[in-house]
Chain A
């Protein structure tokens, strides 16, 4: 059984560019969560989505960040006009309903 798949695993962007991170949940999972981990810091919740709906975006920065989970295809975390402070590991997790979350290996964004 394939786990949560995230790509790219590593992404380098220059300041002002856009970053798109993709997450394919485990088979049968319809709930997706995005977390961010800054260097040497803990995991911070960003957003929780179900198919075509954002359920909780209380952890998302107000500007430049957006997330979607379309009916078909992976969930996308989009960061516009990246700045150096966006450099972090971004983890996606999925769950069946309200069950336990299973995490991917993360996407590591470096902003030059």
Chain B
């Protein structure tokens, strides 16, 4: 089962910032927060990941609370092409032997509205 909780759907006006929340209250110290999105029926697309510091790349920003129990993905200027299902996933990394697969939950369906 997924270890994260996300709202099932959100709307955002085109050109505005989209802020997608995620709760991961049982996250372990060696687990990272990953965000992916799936546009229609395409393959999931990697967006960003972080451990405890805030992260920014060309697609988005990731804000992780100090206690690491929740995070927010920010798309600074949403466009119609950002309409997708967004998945917040916690995942172990760099811990030696084991499985590093991603467990997808239901995600948040973001609709960007003209």
- A residues within 8 A CB of B94? 98
Q: Which residue of A lies closest to B96 (CB)?
A: A98
Contact segment of B5-13, B15-23, B69-77, B101-109 = B101-109
Decide if A25 is an interface residue (CB 8 Å cutoff): no
Q: Which residue of A lies closest to B97 (CB)?
A: A55
User: Judging by beta carbons under 8 Å apart, are B43 and A105 in contact?
Assistant: yes
Interface string of A39-60 (1 = CB under 8 A from B): 0001111001000000110110
- A residues within 8 A CB of B100? 31, 48, 95, 98
- Known: A43-B44, A104-B43, A105-B42. Contact between A98 and B93, CB under 8 A? yes
- A residues within 8 A CB of B43? 4, 91, 93, 103-106
Decide if B68 is an interface residue (CB 8 Å cutoff): no
User: Judging by beta carbons under 8 Å apart, are B106 and A91 in contact?
Assistant: no
- A residues within 8 A CB of B93? 98-99
Decide if A100 is an interface residue (CB 8 Å cutoff): yes
Q: Which residue of A lies closest to B107 (CB)?
A: A42
Partner among B34, B95, B105 whose Cβ is within 8 Å of the Cβ of A100: B34
Among A44, A56, A100, find the residue whose CB has the most chain B CB atoms closer than 10 A. A100
Decide if A69 is an interface residue (CB 8 Å cutoff): no
- B residues within 8 A CB of A104? 43
Q: Which residue of B lies closest to A42 (CB)?
A: B104
28 cross-chain CB contacts under 8 A = A31-B100, A33-B101, A33-B102, A35-B104, A37-B41, A42-B104, A42-B106, A42-B107, A45-B102, A45-B103, A45-B104, A48-B100, A58-B99, A89-B41, A91-B43, A93-B43, A93-B44, A93-B102, A98-B92, A98-B100, A99-B93, A100-B34, A101-B46, A101-B102, A103-B44, A103-B45, A104-B43, A106-B43
